[in-house]
Amino acid sequence: MTNYLRGAGVDVKKDGNKMYLLPLTDKGVLKLSSGEIKDAGQMLRGKDLSEKAGGLFDPAVTGGHLGKQWAHITLHRKIPSPMYEEAILKLLGLTKAKYTSILQGQDQLNDKTGIDAIIAALAGMDVDAELESTKQTLKTAPPTNVNRLNTKLRYLHALKTLGYKSPDKAYLMKYVPVIPPAFRPVYPLPSGDLAVSDINKHYRQVGLLTQGFKDLNTLGGMSKPDELKYDYDLYNGVKALQGFIDPITYGQEKYKGVIKELAGEQAKFGLIQALA
């Protein structure tokens, strides 16, 4: 469970009998990782399950297809972590529709658009100053705004307690943590086909998205609308990987992300219940 939570961007710290859930930052991912997966589109060779260098089961990085070493995928740019989308909405005072519109490049925030607008807003927020300002606003706020402001206060208090001066340090990501192969297996079926853990398909999708951007950029760059679309697709690819939406491309099977794998479609069919 703790490995899957970290795979979704949530760090797990134990203090005695208590466990704390914290944002898994880029610094934390790199500390956890044994190296970068440079070609996430490569899994195992079907005929003999041999690992491919640079791929999702690179033996030098992950320990092979039954390895227990963490790795990471480097995105082509920083993005807001979808795991903390709700916190970002509350801190910036945005509705879900407005946030989505900004990410798509159809709306602006502080004269910026796309992912850059969200990054700039989070980086420009002083947690201490915003905390005091929100407390003052709460004193005279109408009843309809009290719940929203109290929720914002809780996020600001949490950031302050963790020592963050601005929310960007907690809620942005450039590195995707890759769970050890032992927890995302690939194995042959009697039919000769391969059974592939869903999480591998998500890693491949995210890796192909970020590699596609790099390839097109190398060929001569792209227009701003195309760049915004790529960024938004990447955001949704990571969001699907974490388990909050269906994958952005799939065939007949909607392969599950990390949180959906843990929770299951129904309470008794999640990973933890199934192993209990």
Supply the DSSP string of the chain, one letter for each residue. -HHHHHHTTEEEEEETTEEEEEE--HHHHHHH-SSB-S-TT--B-TTT--B-TTSTT-HHHH-STT----EEEEEEEEEE-GGGHHHHHHHHT--HHHHHHHHTTSS-BTTB-HHHHHHHHHHT--HHHHHHHHHHHHHT--HHHHHHHHHHHHHHHHHHHTT-SSTHHHHEEEEEEE--GGGS-EEE-TTS-EEE-HHHHHHHHHHHHHHHHHHHHHTT---HHHHHHHHHHHHHHHHHHHTSS--SS-SS-----HHHHHH-SSGGGSHHHHH-
Structure confidence at residue 268 (pLDDT)? 53
Distance CA 133, CA 115 (A): 26
Name the pTM for this structure: 0.91
Rg (CA), the chain: 20
pLDDT at 276 (0 to 100): 45
pLDDT means per 10 residues in the chain (276 residues)?
93 87 95 96 77 93 94 96 97 97 97 97 97 95 94 96 96 97 86 84 93 82 87 95 85 81 63 48
Residue in the structure block whose two tokens are 């009290």: 146
180 touches 70 (CB < 8 A)? yes
- pLDDT reported for residue 253: 72
pLDDT value, residue 247: 86
